[in-house]
């Protein structure tokens, strides 16, 4: 096994240690201080990240296959090396001989794990023969605190479908700057989705794709592209994009000709938005501020609020979330969303409209949040005549008038992120 392959796997195991041992998000572990910083080759960095991500998607299945061969649970790093090897052999279809040798080399190279090299070798040689058992294992289950909530909302069949979608991962979706999804799909060999996004099956280096440098498109999940389309700004309208970074919705609003003010509390995320505006040749006014304290100098025609949330709708892209979040995170987020909805209502003029959205699967961050806001504010109403956008199916609409999107929707096309979206208006 080439040394580069061992180094990439060692970095992947270190990323798993960071998620499962320290509660770190993968986005924190790919930075300059993370395990990937030791890898000079971009392809090896990509390989390490893919291996760690894939292992997190199938962690429960790997543990079930390993359990009969372990009398007691080994140290976390050793267990993560075993998990990674199992997933690489049985999910990726890698040759067992090379995977076993690499896993042994990874463990042997650690000061605190070298003694477990023999265990890793013995266990993996047994597990290498269990391909048929792997195929029979169900997708990884969500943690109990989240699964229980989703069972109440969507039932057992719905949750099983969501878990299958999350285990499958996510394709790469793009939003065309000019709105011509069919033309962009032809240029890149992708598929034009019913709602106007473009989907690519292969996920190579994004910046190497045709049109990236020219700013012809940006990466944005098909579900995440819907809130701005529902807000439907017309050229010249003054629109506030609140909690805007990293900026996909800001780019959509600007491309539609709106006069956009994008507000976010995180300077580093706003820097990414500024880079994307420069790349696409679009313009917006950027404000780094907490929207609960921000005092705008102008009155908007419309507002898009993509509120901070549990991000449980994005687990197929961020498989570490079930391992680093807990039930205790939900209540403060729900309170923050309510405060932001109240503040947004204060900013709206009579007749002004807004879209509230979260990338969450939880009803308390979606329809319950909107229902509670309608009860608090006599002048707030749901927009019952929300535009019938191409590709939006009737079954996605909820009883209070919003949209509920789930990862298992469009299963034949590769799914979508989970989102809740509602259009609201300040009435007379």
Q: Which helix (H) or strand (E) holds 188?
A: helix 181-188
Q: Which two tokens stand for residue 130?
A: 């269990």
Q: Where are the alpha helices (DSSP H) in 23-94?
A: 26-29, 42-57, 59-66, 76-90
Count CB atoms within 10 A of the CB of residue 347.
20
Half-sphere exposure of 228 (CA within 13 A, CB side): 28
The alpha carbon dihedral of 216, 220, 221, 222 has a sign of negative
| Rounded Cα gap, residues 86 and 129, in angstroms | 11
pLDDT of residue 144: 94
Place of tokens 């309608």: 374
* DSSP-derived 3-state class of residue 426: strand
pLDDT of residue 4: 60
pLDDT of residue 351: 95
Annotated catalytic, 357? no
Q: What is the pLDDT of residues 327-374, one digit of tens each?
A: 999 999 999 999 999 999 999 999 999 999 999 999 999 999 999 999
393 — pLDDT class (breaks 50, 70, 90) = very high
For the residues 241-251, what does the mean pLDDT come to? 96
pLDDT of residue 1: 40
Q: What is the pLDDT of residues 108-157, one digit of tens each?
A: 999 999 999 999 999 999 999 988 899 999 999 999 999 999 999 999 99
Closest among 428, 353, 375, 368 to 398, alpha carbons compared: 368
For the residues 287-299, what does the mean pLDDT come to? 96
Q: What is the pLDDT of residues 202-237, one digit of tens each?
A: 777 898 899 999 999 999 999 999 999 999 999 999
pLDDT of residue 41: 86
* Number of residues in the chain: 428
Torsion of the alpha carbons at 236, 250, 301 and 298, rounded to the nearest 10: -90
Q: Which two tokens stand for residue 93?
A: 């279809």
Q: Which two tokens stand for residue 399?
A: 């009883």
**Region of residue 401 (left: phi > 0; alpha: psi -120 to 50; beta: else):** left
pLDDT of residue 387: 67
pLDDT of residue 366: 97
| Percent composition of the chain: helix, strand, coil (DSSP 3-state, to 5) | 50, 15, 40
* DSSP-derived 3-state class of residue 116: helix
**The pTM of the whole model exceeds 0.75:** yes
Place of tokens 């993968």: 26
For the residues 45-66, what does the mean pLDDT come to? 95
Contacts with 206 (C-beta within 8 Å, 6 or more apart), sequence order: 172, 212, 219
* DSSP-derived 3-state class of residue 112: coil
| C-alpha distances out from residue 284 to 215, 306, 344, Å | 15, 17, 19
Instruction: Examine the pLDDT at 428 and tell me if it is beyond 80.
Output: no
How many degrees, rounded to 5, is the angle at CA 367 between CA 365 and CA 373? 85
Half-sphere exposure of 325 (CA within 13 A, CB side): 25
Instruction: Examine the pLDDT at 418 and tell me if it is beyond 90.
Output: yes
Mean pLDDT, the chain, rounded, equals 94
| Rounded Cα gap, residues 92 and 86, in angstroms | 9
| Rounded Cα gap, residues 58 and 61, in angstroms | 5
Instruction: Examine the pLDDT at 2 and tell me if it is beyond 70.
Output: no
For the residues 240-245, what does the mean pLDDT come to? 96
Q: Which helix (H) or strand (E) holds 5?
A: helix 3-22
pLDDT over 90 percentage in the chain = 89
**Region of residue 141 (left: phi > 0; alpha: psi -120 to 50; beta: else):** beta
| Rounded Cα gap, residues 137 and 64, in angstroms | 8
Catalytic residue from among 243, 309, 357, 359: 359
Torsion of the alpha carbons at 262, 267, 269 and 270, rounded to the nearest 10: 30
| Rounded Cα gap, residues 176 and 193, in angstroms | 12
Closest among 288, 304, 287 to 242, alpha carbons compared: 304
Q: Which helix (H) or strand (E) holds 120?
A: helix 117-127
pLDDT of residue 204: 74
Q: Which two tokens stand for residue 52?
A: 């760690």
Q: What is the pLDDT of residues 153-209, one digit of tens each?
A: 999 999 999 999 999 999 999 999 999 999 999 999 999 999 999 999 877 789 889
Strand partners, 187: none
């Amino acid at each position: 096994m080439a040394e580069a392959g061992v180094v990439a796997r060692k970095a992947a195991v270190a990323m798993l240690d960071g998620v499962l041992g320290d509660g770190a998000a993968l986005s924190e572990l790919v930075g300059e201080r993370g395990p990937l910083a030791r890898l000079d080759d971009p392809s090896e960095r990509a390989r390490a990240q893919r291996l760690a991500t894939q292992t997190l998607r199938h962690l429960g299945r790997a543990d079930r296959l390993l359990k009969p061969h372990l009398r007691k649970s080994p140290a976390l790093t050793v267990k993560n090396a075993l998990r990674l090897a199992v997933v690489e052999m049985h999910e990726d279809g890698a040759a067992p001989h090379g995977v076993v040798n690499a896993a042994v080399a990874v463990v042997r190279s650690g000061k605190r794990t070298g003694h477990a090299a023999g265990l890793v070798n013995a266990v993996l040689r047994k597990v290498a023969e269990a391909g048929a058992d792997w195929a029979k294992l169900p997708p990884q289950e969500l943690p109990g605190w989240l699964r229980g909530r989703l069972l109440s909302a969507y039932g057992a069949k719905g949750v099983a479908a969501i878990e299958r979608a999350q285990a499958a991962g996510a394709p790469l979706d793009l939003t065309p700057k000019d709105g011509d999804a069919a033309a962009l799909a032809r240029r890149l060999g992708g598929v034009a989705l019913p709602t106007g996004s473009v989907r690519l099956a292969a996920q190579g280096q994004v910046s190497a794709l045709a049109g990236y440098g020219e700013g012809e498109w940006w990466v944005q999940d098909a579900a995440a592209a819907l809130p701005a389309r529902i807000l439907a700004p017309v050229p010249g309208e003054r629109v506030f994009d609140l909690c805007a970074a990293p900026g996909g919705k800001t780019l959509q609003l600007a491309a539609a000709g709106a006069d956009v003010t994008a507000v976010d509390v995180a300077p580093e995320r706003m820097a990414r938005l500024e880079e994307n505006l420069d790349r696409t040749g679009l313009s917006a006014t950027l404000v780094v501020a907490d929207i609960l304290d921000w005092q705008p100098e102008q009155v908007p025609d419309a507002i898009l609020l993509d509120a901070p949330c549990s991000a449980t709708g994005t687990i197929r892209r961020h498989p570490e979330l079930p391992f680093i979040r807990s039930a205790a995170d939900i209540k403060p987020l729900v309170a923050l969303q309510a405060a932001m909805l109240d503040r947004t209502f204060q900013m709206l003029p009579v007749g002004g409209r807004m879209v509230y959205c979260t990338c969450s699967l939880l009803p308390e961050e979606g329809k319950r949040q909107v229902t509670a806001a309608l009860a608090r504010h006599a002048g707030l109403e749901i927009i019952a005549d929300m535009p019938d956008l191409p590709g939006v199916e009737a079954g996605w609409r909820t009883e209070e008038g919003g949209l509920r999107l789930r990862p298992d929707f469009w299963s034949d096309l590769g799914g979508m992120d989970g989102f809740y979206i509602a259009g609201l208006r300040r009435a007379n």
